């Protein structure tokens, strides 16, 4: 990516403005701002935002970076998607680029184009006999009108195992591309490929940017799989390396159905209606409830909550009225609270889901359900009490333990205080006991979370280092970096003896160059001073490097041995077999050989 464009992109997207637009509450502090970190739960503001440097840094969890890094992490975007998001915001055109990020971006655009073609195909099938059967299902059984069907881009997958494949191959897409997009699949029995969606009413999955990222299909026949959704698509890097799966396109744990439509209403009301199924959402939308969404075939996830939090502060849970739906509602309340969102739960009687309810009783009755929704914490307390006798000491203790844990995950101090006082007053427990117990549980949970995160960071860093080359030059480079870091007064002497160009590892070279530059201008160097140039993962790796070599006795003599090992390695791996060297390199080699011979006589 062109560096000049990136600088212009950052200039046109002030980090404080972008953070505010994404719902971060910034408070003036000195030359910048402070806010609660958007990437970890905390009680007090520990995240610093410095607009003139275009930089943010959390002193609590260590996350930091520029406006691009913020957008990537906060909105769960890849590099090129973040660039595209900021460019669109600022009215800039993204120049053609190269590299893995650009390849991934181009592949994703290809995926979106492919899904758009498939959506048009499914749409066209509504005019066929299979499509008429699909329309009868949608309009007569589900009571959807033509405008709603058109709004959501619904279509029909015909009762054929190859119709879509033949069409898409004719449009120039390969079988491998179609398999990656879950439009076709390959049989393990005979190796042939077949359509993924067969004899189904189809619902495009559209992201907030308007891209079709996948599909959901509801069977029109007797398939036991009532609903079938696109599988997660993964990054180009994963397919090449077989490494960690990285969402790249559609991810069921991140996607929120109909958020592309609901966000416009949600930003005004700051409220979303959360359903279990996409047909519930579509039915509510048709009846005037424009802010309905669904988690679409998966239990609610923290990533989906983060996506919804951009547009809303409160979620009204409109899950099915059966036992499974109520259990899912209970789980969702805890996740929403931990994610910093308020919640309430509707109580439906006489219908199993919102779609059936609103078609049976109408909009006014559903509005009544919404206005009388039970507060999330009150709903939890009711569920916790079921099957218990609170006059019994053991039962009451069990109930209170569950209530304490529910309060402990509340990140907002005011909300937590209200919940503690409510519990103490209603269930005859002293407020001091409630607060003390909740604080202890919260501290234990925070400690466990920190330890878990630390272990994961260590695991990733070890894995990252294990994947690096293990030659003497690599070891020498890292030892030399440690020596210069600990002995800045020796930087000039070391730089006379070895050039960064002689380093064999790109990461080591970048760190070494940056370190020498900071020392040259008299900057006091700490690991955190590298955050403006390197990612958080890079800085953590640098810290691990320093910790590792701190246990060794790296003095001047050892440092110069490191320099020798790097030069020896380069000499052994110098260009051969007709590849030319400069006269200067050749003279240096001759002089070194003469010295060696002279020393051995």
More confident site: 489 or 369: 369
Q: Looking at the predicted structure, is the pLDDT value of residue 476 above 50?
A: yes
Average pLDDT over residues 282-288: 96
Per-residue confidence band for 103, with pLDDT thresholds at 50, 70 and 90? low
pLDDT per position as a tens digit, 304-323: 998 898 788 999 999 999 98
Beta strands in 13-76 (DSSP E): 27-29, 32-35, 47-50, 55-58, 64-65
Q: Which residues contact 376 (CB under 8 A, 6 or more apart)?
A: 317, 333, 336, 337, 342, 343, 344, 345
Write down the pLDDT at residue 264.
79
Closest alpha carbon to 44 in 56, 28, 62, 58? 58
**Dist. CA 523–CA 525, nearest whole Å:** 6
Sequence spans of domains, the chain = 3-90, 100-241, 259-385, 393-460, 472-600
Q: Determine contact, residues 22/99, Cβ cutoff 8 Å.
A: no
Token match 């590099």: residue? 79
The H or E element spanning position 214 is: strand 212-219
User: What 3-state class would DSSP assign to 207?
Assistant: coil
pLDDT of residue 207: 87
Structure tokens at 577: 């077999």
- pLDDT of amino acid 241: 36
Confidence of residue 250 (pLDDT cuts 50, 70, 90): confident
User: What is the three-class DSSP state of 462?
Assistant: helix
Percent of the residues in the chain that have a pLDDT greater than 90, as a whole number = 49
CATH topology of domain 472-600: DNAb Helicase; Chain A (1.10.860)
User: Is residue 83 pLDDT above 90, yes or no?
Assistant: no
Q: Lowest mean pLDDT: which of 345-349, 378-382, 446-450?
A: 446-450
Report the percentage of the chain scoring pLDDT > 70: 88
Mean pLDDT, residues 380-398 taken together: 94
Q: Which option is the CATH number for 259-385: 3.40.50.2000, 3.90.1150.10, 3.40.1360.10, 3.30.70.20?
A: 3.40.1360.10
Is the C-alpha dihedral spanning 96, 102, 105, 109 positive or negative? positive
Mean per-residue pLDDT, 553-577: 84
CA neighbours closer than 13 Å in the CB half-sphere of residue 255: 29
The CATH code of domain 3-90 reads: 3.90.580.10
Mean pLDDT of the chain: 85
Rounded Cα–Cα distance for residues 534 and 524 (Å) = 17
Instruction: Give all strands (DSSP E) within 7-150, no chain letters.
Output: 27-29, 32-35, 47-50, 55-58, 64-65
Burial 539-559 (b: 16+ CB within 10 A, else e): bbbbbbbeeebeeeebeeebb
- Examine the pLDDT at 546 and tell me if it is beyond 80: yes
Axis crossing angle, helix 163-170 with helix 100-124, rounded to the nearest 10: 130
Average pLDDT over residues 514-526: 83
Alpha helices in 372-505 (DSSP H): 376-385, 393-408, 413-426, 431-466, 472-486, 491-497
User: Residue 591 pLDDT more than 80?
Assistant: no
Q: What is the DSSP string of 256-283?
A: -BTHHHHHHHHHHH-EEEEESSHHHHHH
Q: How many CB atoms lie within 10 A of CB 241?
A: 10
pLDDT of res. 460: 59
Average pLDDT over residues 132-150: 96
* Distant-in-sequence, close-in-space partners of 450: CB < 8 Å, separation ≥ 6: none
With beta carbons less than 8 A apart as the criterion, state whether 490 and 518 touch. no
| pLDDT band with cut points at 50, 70 and 90 for residue 417 | very high
User: Which among 144, 140, 164, 163 has a CA at the least distance from the CA of 152?
Assistant: 144
**pLDDT tens per residue, range 390-401:** 999 999 999 999
User: Given this model, what pLDDT does residue 601 score?
Assistant: 38
Q: What is the pLDDT of residue 379?
A: 96
So what's the architecture of 100-241 in CATH? Alpha-Beta Complex (3.90)
Q: Which residues contact 66 (CB under 8 A, 6 or more apart)?
A: 10, 15, 54, 55, 56
**pLDDT mean over 531-546:** 81
Q: What's the mean pLDDT in 11-39?
A: 88
> What does the pLDDT read at residue 170?
96
* pTM beyond cutoff 0.95: no
Q: Phi/psi of residue 434, each to 5°? A: -60, -50
Instruction: Determine the pLDDT at residue 531.
Output: 76
pLDDT mean over 188-211: 92
pLDDT of residue 232: 83
């Amino acid at each position: 990516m062109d560096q000049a464009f990136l600088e212009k992109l950052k200039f046109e997207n002030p980090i404080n403005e972008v953070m505010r637009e994404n719902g971060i509450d910034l408070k003036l502090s000195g030359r910048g701002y402070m806010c609660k970190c958007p990437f970890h739960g905390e009680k007090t503001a520990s995240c610093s935002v410095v607009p003139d440097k275009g930089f943010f840094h959390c002193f609590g969890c260590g996350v930091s970076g520029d406006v691009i890094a913020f957008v990537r992490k906060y909105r769960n975007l890849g590099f090129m998607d973040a660039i595209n998001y900021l460019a669109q915001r600022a009215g800039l055109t993204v120049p053609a680029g190269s590299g893995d990020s650009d390849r991934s971006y181009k592949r994703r655009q290809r995926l979106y184009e492919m899904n758009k073609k498939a959506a048009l195909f499914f749409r066209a099938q509504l005019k066929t006999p299979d499509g008429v059967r699909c329309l009868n299902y949608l309009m007569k059984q589900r009571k959807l009108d033509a405008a709603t069907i058109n709004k959501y881009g619904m279509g029909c997958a015909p009762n054929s195992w190859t119709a879509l494949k033949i069409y898409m191959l004719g449009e120039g897409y390969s079988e491998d591309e179609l398999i990656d997009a879950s439009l076709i699949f390959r049989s393990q029995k005979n190796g042939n490929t077949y359509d993924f969606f067969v004899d189904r009413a189809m619902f495009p999955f559209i992201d907030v940017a308007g891209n079709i990222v996948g599909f959901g299909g509801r069977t029109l026949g007797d398939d036991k799989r009532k609903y079938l959704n696109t599988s997660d698509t993964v990054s180009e890097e994963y397919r090449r390396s077989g490494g960690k799966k990285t969402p790249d396109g559609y991810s069921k744990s991140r996607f929120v159905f109909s958020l592309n439509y609901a966000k416009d209403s949600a930003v005004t009301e700051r409220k979303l209606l959360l359903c279990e199924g996409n047909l519930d959402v579509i039915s509510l939308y048709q009846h005037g409830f424009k802010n309905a969404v669904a988690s679409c075939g998966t239990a609610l996830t923290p990533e989906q909550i983060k996506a919804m939090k951009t547009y809303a502060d409160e979620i009204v849970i409109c899950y099915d009225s059966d036992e499974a739906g109520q259990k899912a509602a209970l789980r969702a309340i805890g996740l929403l609270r931990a994610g910093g969102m308020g919640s309430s739960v509707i109580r439906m009687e006489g219908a199993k889901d919102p779609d059936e309810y609103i078609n049976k009783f109408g909009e006014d009755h559903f509005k009544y359900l919404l206005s009388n929704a039970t507060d999330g914490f009150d709903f939890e307390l009711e569920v916790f009490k079921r099957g218990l006798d609170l006059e019994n000491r053991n039962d009451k203790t069990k109930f209170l333990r569950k209530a304490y844990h529910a309060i402990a995950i509340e990140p907002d101090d005011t909300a937590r205080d209200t919940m503690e006082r409510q519990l103490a007053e209603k269930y005859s427990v002293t407020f001091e006991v409630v607060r003390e117990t909740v604080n202890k549980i919260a501290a234990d949970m925070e400690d466990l979370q920190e330890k878990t995160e630390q272990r994961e960071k260590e695991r990733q860093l070890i894995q990252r280092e294990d994947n690096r080359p293990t030659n003497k030059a690599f070891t020498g480079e890292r030892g030399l970096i440690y020596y210069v870091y600990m002995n800045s007064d020796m930087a000039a002497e070391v730089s006379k003896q070895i050039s960064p160009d002689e380093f064999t590892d790109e990461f080591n070279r970048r760190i070494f160059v940056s370190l020498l530059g900071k020392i040259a201008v008299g900057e006091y160097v700490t690991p955190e001073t590298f955050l403006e140039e390197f990612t958080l993962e890079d800085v953590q790796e640098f810290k691990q490097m320093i910790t590792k070599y701190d246990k060794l006795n790296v003095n001047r003599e050892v440092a110069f041995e490191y320099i020798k090992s790097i030069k020896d390695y380069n000499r052994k791996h110098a260009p051969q077999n007709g590849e030319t060297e400069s006269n200067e390199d050749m003279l240096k080699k001759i002089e070194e050989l003469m010295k060696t011979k002279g020393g051995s006589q």
